[in-house]
Chain A
Amino acid sequence: MKEKIRIASGQGFWGDLIDAPVDQVTKGDIDYLVMDYLAEVTMSILQKQKHKNPEHGYARDIPELMHRILPVCREKNIKIITNGGGVNPTACANEVLNIARELNIPDIKIAVVLGDDIIDRIDEIVSSGYELNNMETGDSIISVKDELLSANVYFGAFPIVEALEKGADIVITGRTTDTGLTLAPMIYEFGWDKNNYDLMSAGTVAGHILECGGQASGGNLMADWQNVENLAEIGFPIAEAYPNGEVIITKHENTGGKVSFETIAEQLVYEIGDPTEYITPDCVVDFTSIKLEDLGNNRVKVYNVKGKKETEFYKVSISYCDGYKAVGSLTYSWPDTLKKAKAADQILRKRLENLGLQFDEIKTDLVGFNATHENIAKVLEEDCINEITLRIAVRSHDKKAVTRFGQEIAPLILTGPPSVTGFAGGRPKPSRVVAYWPALIPKSVVQPEVKILEWK
């Protein structure tokens, strides 16, 4: 057994710094590169892409990235784990195999984790008596059945552990929890017992810290942000894990950003609910047990993590189309900035009303005045406001109403208040509103499947 392993975060979301995973494999020593590509909205986009082309439906950044990192990963024996397979992990893996062959690394072993995508099984599942009711509203899935865009079960670490046990160099999954990507190599390397919930929790907490990339190593930091050095060359976080469950969060030397008590504490509280019940498919973690010790030199020890047995359910993330929306904006300058922005808003709303258009919601924000903090914002004197960007957003189940709204923005320039600019890029077009349907499903209903792909 190794005495420690180093697991590096390469992406916090799809669209994150393209060079971050390259830096992680080249700027120092690591054993695993883990990359989270999936947000809830991503699944619906990928499903749409797969619908258009059966070979798509995964994070399209992966092939180019693999071109850049496979040789060095082979040389340094770094394994790669990612959920960027989206709704088509097999197509993604085949593309990576092609690249490996081009790079003259033909003996690479890629594992895919399948079984999370249940979009084509909804009828069967519901008719078997699993209603997939909305966790928040209690409504039956039948009410949105015709509008479904994607449906994926969140798997945990164990399908990835199975893949590693089968000798995979690269593991490509669909909807795996972000935390499972990091926990899996610890279970595999240290032979952790799945019933040791404290160890499962320790790896899960490390995963929570790594899952947002640079947000744990100095990015988006409120504590003394101005003294974070060299964010331009930020080093993404690395979890140095030990067999007893202790983890040291750090980053490569000679990179920017920082790892401190504050950077880790801010990430620990990010998007959590009841801290005593952080639920994953692998365990239920008590975040109030976590101890942090800032060791200095960009090293923070995370230890004493406690947890309990996992639940009987998987979470299912289902997305469906819930109408259309569009956003338009115009910028008004001094003088009478606020008055002009408000007048333009009123004129537009009156025109929409006269047209008899039906909207579920019309939302006006005054960017530069109070769009982020709304009524908590400090009120500026009219004469001190240099400019305001009027941002108006609408949502409707009537696509034509949303289209027409988009046609009513530019005319305000010549038929509304003066000193206005900032209309570029053409008329705002309707885009689909993707809504989420969180549900639970008993673990017995869905089986993860691990397949090894290699050139024969």
Chain B
Amino acid sequence: MEIKLLDIAHGRSGDKGSAANIGIIAYNDEGYEIIRKYLTPEKVQEHFKGICKGEVERYELPNIRALNFILNDTLGGGGTVSLKFDAQGKTLAAALLRMTLHIDD
């Protein structure tokens, strides 16, 4: 079964130096179980191929049904060094929510 991440979660992203952080929050407990199981760091790394040039780290915040991803070496130097249009990674949460998850029925 396919689930659009946008349908089960929301989020916010920003910068931490040249790394971006993306917090993804499920709308309910069931959604959190799905993202915890299927939204793996490997999947996020693959999704941001060519954009995230470092490693993807994942942290769990079950208390607010959230996962926090750190995408290292993503913002082209960060701060005012970066020439990127979205130098602070503000739109990357939306970019991640484009993902479709393939889950076991």
A binding-site residues for B, Cβ under 8 Å: 40-41, 136, 220-223, 262, 265-276, 287-292, 322, 325, 327, 361-363, 365, 367, 371-376, 378, 391, 393-395, 433-436, 438
Contact = CB atoms under 8 A, between A and B. Distances in A.
Contacts of B97: 222
Nearest to A375: B50
Contacts of A274: 59
Contacts of B61: 268-269, 275, 287-288
Contacts of B11: 222, 266, 269
B12 A267 contact: yes
Interface string B66-96: 1010100000111111011110000101110
B51 A374 contact: yes
B64 interface: yes
Given A273-B21, A436-B79, A292 B64 contact: yes
Contacts of A220: 12
B93 A435 contact: no
Contacts of A395: 81, 83
In this complex, which of B12, B24, B65, B91 has the most chain A Cβ atoms within 10 angstroms of its Cβ? B12
A417 B22 CA distance: 39
A371 B85 contact: yes
A271 B65 CA distance: 17
Contacts of A393: 83
Contact of A433 (B47, B80, B94): B80
B12 A222 contact: yes
A-B pairs, top 9 by smallest CB distance, nearest first, are A269-B23, A393-B83, A363-B83, A223-B10, A222-B10, A372-B91, A371-B85, A271-B14, A266-B12
A376 B62 contact: no
Interface size class of B (residues with CB under 8 A): 35 or more
Given A269-B68, A373-B95, 8 more contacts: A222-B10, A270-B12, A270-B14, A272-B21, A272-B68, A361-B76, A372-B91, A375-B51
A262 B59 contact: no
Given A262-B25, A395-B83, A268 B64 contact: yes
A262 B91 CA distance: 18
Contacts of B48: 376
A288 B60 contact: yes
15 contacts: A265-B66, A268-B64, A269-B23, A269-B24, A271-B14, A271-B21, A325-B83, A363-B84, A365-B85, A373-B91, A373-B95, A376-B48, A434-B81, A436-B17, A436-B78
Interface string B1-31: 0000000001110111100010111010000
Given A222-B11, A270-B14, A373-B94, A41 B80 contact: yes
A181 B93 CA distance: 28
Contacts, number: 125
Contacts of B84: 363, 365
A157 to B, nearest CB: 22
A372 B97 CA distance: 13
Given A273-B16, A371-B85, A374-B50, A434 B63 contact: no
B25 A265 contact: yes
Given A222-B11, A222-B94, A435 B79 contact: yes
Nearest to A289: B63
A231 to B, nearest CB: 16
A367 B12 contact: no
A371 B84 CA distance: 8
A220 B14 CA distance: 12
Contact of A266 (B10, B80, B83, B95): B10
Nearest to A436: B79
Given A271-B14, A272-B68, A222 B81 contact: no
A160 B85 CA distance: 38
A266 B20 CA distance: 15
A44 to B, nearest CB: 9
A136 to B, nearest CB: 7
Contacts of B77: 435
B10 A262 contact: yes
Nearest to A359: B83
A220 B90 CA distance: 10
Nearest to B62: A288
Contacts of B64: 265, 268-269, 290, 292
Contacts of A373: 91, 94-95, 98
Contacts of A276: 59
Contacts of A391: 85
Contacts of B25: 223, 262, 265-266, 269
Contacts of A275: 59, 61, 68
Given A271-B21, A272-B23, A288-B61, A372 B95 contact: yes
A372 B85 contact: yes
Contacts of A292: 63-64
A120 B21 CA distance: 34
Nearest to B60: A288
A322 B81 contact: yes
